[in-house]
Homo-oligomer: A and B are copies of this chain.
């Protein structure tokens, strides 16, 4: 889970900064902007966008082309060395900001070793950049990108800056289009500006209009007011459903679907048959689904959980132990809305179950008579290898089924969304979605062996993970 931006505009640094703020939720671990005219200019660091660029004079990032990145640490062990965008100076000067996860890294490392390309980190982004560099040093750009899509398995909705001729900004997506990437356009006195961004909210805050999504298997090229497109591979769409359920901002539009509306419908589509006094959402993500749910079943909607905005973040903490404590510390209960009541507690999903159990216990401690847990997402049974931080199968509470799950989380009942309800809410053909975390059907080449390898690798990473020094 990361966010990327590519911009071809007169105000590249400022727009990149503003758009990074808009997609900050996609990664709070580091941030960076890289621009170019004759040279390349870069500013990046660990921390929030506002921290990294605090007191930084943005006009030192010169030129009219740039890419930008926010990151949170899925893969790779050395946080400091992986702040993106990444840059290498041959050929031409080449920079990359990557969103997604490469799944055949070992294979690609062998390939690069043969090409005498040295890797400095365990980051899959560095691998992708070096494959691109090797291909571009030998082939035309389209050919090089096409071959890269052939070689590299996994998810990548990435942006690139190439120093050839006058420079160009390039956005491209793997053939499944697992992670989102949209195109925006803005007419100014100086001509036409273009932006590609992980989410449409990045366009909103900078005055760009949403043109369309980059297609799966497509590359788009921006240079001095013009855009060119090339379908590198026939698209086989498999868009991540978790972007709709949890990860993207509600005010984003992905593949033409408003995330807010999808979440509202998620609430409406849940089959629920308990008698309750109030619907309470887990703030902030579950609020929209809970509204839909409350409307459908005509149960009063109440803000019974209050969030302290000034305590860290939850899902994105890389260790289980840390994550567990963080979510609860942030929440306080409005006793009157809970005490003596039967509550439908709506959350976006149930991943590991630890947070869910703590939420239920919290409500009961404040006197809830019954707590019925409602998940706007179907049971998550399989790990994700495409960028969502639920990579270890045996950590998923539903990995072996949902029988008795209400006991595990101490609730009076647990109600899940159905897969059909989810697909209907999203409004795209089922065949165009990646439902791997719900079904185990991975859209890319995930042999049993690779699944095992990747699972093991992530477990190792997690164990080696150190909290960043900041």
Contact = CB atoms under 8 A, between A and B. Distances in A.
Interface in A71-100: 88-93
Interface of A: 21-22, 24-25, 39-40, 48-50, 54-55, 88-93, 116-121, 130, 133, 137, 163-164, 201, 204-205, 249-251, 258, 260-261, 284, 287-288, 291, 295, 300-303, 306, 308-312, 329, 332-337, 469-470
B250 A303 contact: yes
Contacts of A258: 334-336
Nearest to A93: B118
A310 B21 contact: yes
Contacts of A21: 308, 310-311
A312 B306 CA distance: 20
A443 to B, nearest CB: 29
Nearest to A24: B310
Given A260-B334, A310-B24, A117 B88 contact: no
A246 to B, nearest CB: 15
5 contacts: A88-B89, A251-B306, A260-B306, A288-B303, A291-B302
A213 B332 CA distance: 20
A93 B121 CA distance: 12
Given A90-B116, A92-B118, 10 more contacts: A21-B310, A24-B309, A24-B310, A39-B121, A48-B310, A88-B89, A249-B308, A251-B333, A251-B334, A258-B334
A470 B91 contact: no
A36 to B, nearest CB: 9
A25 B309 contact: yes
A251 B332 contact: yes
**Which 8 A-B residue pairings sit nearest by Cβ, starting from the closest?**
A93-B118, A24-B310, A251-B306, A91-B116, A251-B332, A260-B334, A89-B118, A118-B163
A433 to B, nearest CB: 21
Nearest to A312: B50
Contacts of A121: 39
Contacts of A40: 118, 120
A311 B116 CA distance: 41
Contact of A89 (B39, B119, B261, B470): B119
B89 A120 contact: yes
Contact of A337 (B204, B260, B306): B260
Contacts of A333: 251
Given A116-B137, A118-B40, A310-B24, A303 B332 contact: no
A65 B300 CA distance: 45
A123 to B, nearest CB: 12
